[in-house]
Amino acid sequence: MDLKIDGRNALIAASGRGLGLATATCLAGEGAHVVLCDKDENALKTAKSNLASEVDGQKVDTYLVDLTNPKEIDTMFKNINQDLGPISILVTNSGGPPPGNFDHATDNHWDASFSLTFLSAVRLIRNALPAMKEQRWGRIINFTSRALKEPIPGLMLSNAMRLAVAGMAKTLALEVAQYGITVNNICPGPTTTERALELAQNRALKKGISIEEELKLTAQNIPMGRLAMPEEPAAIATFLASELAGYITGISILVDGGAVKAL
């Protein structure tokens, strides 16, 4: 199947590892020119090397960026526009806020979570939109969480901020549809990423069990009987980035192995 994104510039946020890197690899495999950004320089170097070896012949550009710093995001886009041309495909993504209940969340925690999870997506989109509108074509894909459909116990900050992203994205989808731009969210369930393993470790410590035992318990609550591989949500992101998905906008797609019980 030809997704018709060969040669398009795709920026994937927090792509040094995990879902971001898996999505970049998938997009590069379809011929997109991928741009990686992350705050971890070593992770970026490793990601670039691994991606280049997996997708032969595809050029990969990288930018060291702290997604909570608006000036660094603005500078990155300025350099991308000068050196590569406009971004046609934007995948917003970030590490999630720390776990905890309402009583443990201070104002500083709320402010930091707002900046990391919500404002990072807003600022990335704000920089990408003008060129997309001019091209009258664009794809914006936000990695959020299954919490959009069913709040996850112990993740107060994340649950709140993911819903904020979804509300912004749904409203934006209505505003930019006239320009041929789509805006969609992907809601992964438990996935074998560093973030998921950190959360599993946190739960395991509270229960006094090993992380292996906790991961087995997690898998038991998933009808498919296992956690997702990063490549599985990445495949959905790649399709949503395609020309073929041009009539899909304003939706949130669960990739959770059937774990969420909501309709």
Could you report the per-residue pLDDT of 180-220, keeping only the tens digit for each?
Answer: 999 999 999 999 988 778 888 888 888 899 988 998 888 99
pLDDT band at 140, cuts 50/70/90?
very high
Predicted local distance difference test score (pLDDT) of residue 97: 93
Predicted local distance difference test score (pLDDT) of residue 206: 86
Q: 233: which 2 tokens?
A: 């949500």
CA distance 53 to 55: 6
CA distance 192 to 229: 6
Predicted local distance difference test score (pLDDT) of residue 263: 82
The helix/strand/coil state of 187 is strand
Predicted local distance difference test score (pLDDT) of residue 74: 98
Predicted local distance difference test score (pLDDT) of residue 198: 83
pLDDT at 23 > cutoff 80: yes
Average pLDDT over residues 75-95: 97
189 phi, psi to nearest 5 deg: -90, -165
Q: Please state which of the ranges 4-18, 54-68, 104-118 shows the lowest mean pLDDT.
A: 54-68
CA distance 85 to 122: 21
Share of the chain above pLDDT 90, in %: 84
Predicted local distance difference test score (pLDDT) of residue 196: 79
Share of the chain above pLDDT 70, in %: 100
Predicted local distance difference test score (pLDDT) of residue 241: 98
pLDDT band at 54, cuts 50/70/90?
confident
Left, alpha or beta for 10 (phi > 0: left; psi -120 to 50: alpha)? beta
Average pLDDT over residues 145-167: 96
69-78 long-range CB contacts below 8 Å, 24 or more apart? 70/119, 70/123, 73/120, 73/123, 73/124, 73/127, 74/123, 74/127, 76/37, 77/127, 77/128
Residue for token pair 């495909």: 89
CA distance 230 to 189: 11
Predicted local distance difference test score (pLDDT) of residue 202: 84
pLDDT band at 253, cuts 50/70/90?
very high
Domains and CATH numbers, the chain: 9-189+230-255 (3.40.50.720), 191-227 (no CATH)
Give the H or E element holding residue 171. helix 156-176
Predicted local distance difference test score (pLDDT) of residue 53: 86
